Structure 1
Amino acid sequence: MDPTDIENTDDWLGCPTPLETCRHQLTLYENEFEELNLQLRQAREQIFKLVEMHAAAATERDQLRTQLAAAKSELADAKRRTTDIETKSNWELMAKGREISELTTQIRILKGDSPFKDHFPHQRETDRT
């Protein structure tokens, strides 16, 4: 047997020829390419959906920011009105208190009492034994 024939296995049964090996490898590459294209298409669809979701969330965020700004403005107006009402109420109470004090003084004068005499004398304990 020729020593060069030992390495030549092209004619053996069950061994693929170099052309068959290349075709098989090409088929594997084509299948892998199709799978990668499918994965790429799915990834693009998912990215597109994410971009749409982001746009919708950004729109909703902007609307909520506008509503929040309006609510803050209304709150500031309500606080200002509340402060005005409280101030007016306090002034009215002070004016009524002063008027009551003046009327009480006039009643005391008309009764003949001293207007500055305390009707409710405080009892002090001066002796603590």
Structure 2
Amino acid sequence: MNIEEDTSTWLGCPTPLEMYQHQCALLEDELTSAYQLLTRARANIAGLVQMNDLLLAGKTKTETELRLALADLSSAHIHGSEMSKEIMSLKMIAGQNEYLRIENQRLLLELKVYRGPPS
């Protein structure tokens, strides 16, 4: 079918000017919507930047507390090591004391045997 009839004059067909106006209205709505989205995105970014600043401050504080806790832990470890050395030396002395007490009891028993029964 070959239609060569000009339909632009039919009733209800928009003119080129009306089509351009309609297209402009659609673009204006789209731009308004994009501007609203951009405004919300900027507000979200500002909130995220503020949250990031708070997190960085908290991170710095926590790192400082961690360093202090590690220093305390190291100091406690050194103190515990020194105490362990003292305990080991005291255990050695206690062992020597026990050995000498047993040896003293043995020698006293030998001395009693050597001297004989008391008269």
Q: Compute the TM-score of the two structures, normalised by the length of structure 1.
A: 0.72
How well do the aligned residues superpose, as a CA RMSD in angstroms?
A: 2.0
The share of aligned pairs that are identical, in percent, is 28
Aligned length: 108
Deviation of residue 112 (structure 1)? 2.7
Gaps of 5+ in 1: 114-129
Compare the two structures and name the one with the higher helix fraction. Answer: 2
Q: Which amino acid aligns with 1:33?
A: L
Instruction: Give the secondary-structure state (helix, strand or coil) at the position aligned to 1:89.
Output: helix
Q: Write out aligned runs for 1:44-123 (5 A).
A: 44-113=42-111
Instruction: Give the whole-Å Cα distance in 2 for the aligned partners of 1:12 and 1:109.
Output: 138
Unaligned runs of 5+ in 2: 112-119
Query: Paired residue for 1:21, among 19, 22, 29?
Result: 19
Aligned equivalents of 1:13, 1:105: Cα separation in 2: 131
TM-score (norm 2): 0.78
Alpha-carbon spacing, 1:7–1:112, altered in 2? closer, same or farther (3 Å): same
Distance 1:14 1:8, change over 3 A: closer
**2: CA distance, partners of 1:18 / 1:110:** 132
SS at 1:112's partner residue? helix
Q: Measure, in 2, the Cα distance between the counterparts of 1:8 and 1:79.
A: 96
